[in-house]
Structure 1
Amino acid sequence: MPPTFDSVADERLHRKQRLAAAFRLFSKAGFDEGVAGHITARDPEFPDTFWVNPFAMHFSLIKVSDLIRVDHAGTVVEGTWPVNPAAFAIHSQVHAARPDAVAAAHTHSTYGRALASLGQSLEPITQDACAFYEDQSLFDDFTGVVLDTEEGKRIAHALDDNKLVVLRNHGLLTVGSSVDSAAWWFLTAERSAQVQLTAKAAGTVVPIAEADAKQTYGVIGSEFLGWLSFQPIYDRIVAEQPDLLD
């Protein structure tokens, strides 16, 4: 079961450990694209601030001690590295619009970008894709690199109360009630995008019936299942790269 904490300090450390692990896992998955991409975790004591990766540090090198905390004005209040302006512009508005979202993930992953370039969302053609059935949206616009919080507000509005938003010509963004679930939703959304694009290139896909898609969503689309699915890969990356906890 998800852990409980005796203090905000313990909860903060837990979130930061999961965040550092998520960056290492995203790197192994090939989600790093130059300086693009960010995952954020709301601070449990100061919820109008969030922890995020330092600007221009490679995902594969990020440790707990490297993470920076940013306030609602984009000021780094803990840490010595600068913040990616796009990370602040997008994530500050997502966290503000979604008090339930402890974490948010966005990178320029290959298949997420391919799906976004088609202006498509995930279709219920596999069991795994049903985790997003009626729980995703499409931000059907692109006006360049997101550097303005007004654009971040538009993205947050498009996300609405869903766990996934496909940003047209840009990529994927997921949120979760834990760092674990937000990271897992991104990982499985990217794989589902890969399967969808591959299947459609090969032939005519067979969609899952609405009633079956809803039933499947009820089993695999919950925040608990998102959290649980992250646990084995968290254990694996910590065993492989224990320095991430430093």
Structure 2
Amino acid sequence: MKIKLSPRLEVIAGCVAGVESMADIGTDHGYLPVYLVENALVSRAIASDTNLQPLKKAEKIINEQQLAKQIETRLGSGLSVLKPGEVDAVVMAGMGGLLIRDLLEAQPDVARQKKKLVLQPMNNQAVLRKYLEAAGFGIISEELAREGDRVYEVIVAKPGKMVVTNPLEYELGFEFYMHKHPLLGALIDRKIFLEQQIVRSTRGKTTAIAAKQWKESSLFIEKLNEVKRCQSN
């Protein structure tokens, strides 16, 4: 029986397709590389994880699908399990944006040898985009995926220059105002909701940090609502 992916992983798979080989860093159960190989979207894959237990689960699924010759499992942290140029694409999904940044920064020679990086940060998306820009990576496309009330941001980048013309691109995605993704409104609503929680928790507090957070979140909500109004026109 072929693997069926969640909407989030399905979008990620679509971003990976078109290369010969890939590595899934933090593979968990190994669903993504198995799906990509059994659907002939890539020819070979590496599934890695820092923990042995999920890697054993991935190995079990790989063997059940009779894909052991095409999918190799490796135990280790981040890009340390790879050699420069060993695969065409790297996926880092389901991690915090700060962790993805740190893993890329720890092995820059490996990161720069990839045709594409497919990154799906669970948080701190703006921090990750700013890092990519500063570190000499260009975002070439972005996608969104929805599961329940959550909208996931998928960033596709490669070595190169990135020109940011609108500061909100760090928060809402590369050229969000041009592409007008059908889930952009839902993403904006989600970000407004999260900022409103900060506003409520800091309202009336007198510490300098709380006052700063309240002001920044209030201004950000205004900007997001402005984008939302423009999108609906």
TM-score scaled by structure 2? Answer: 0.32
* Larger RCO: 1 or 2 (CA < 8 Å, sep 6+): 1
More strand by share: 2
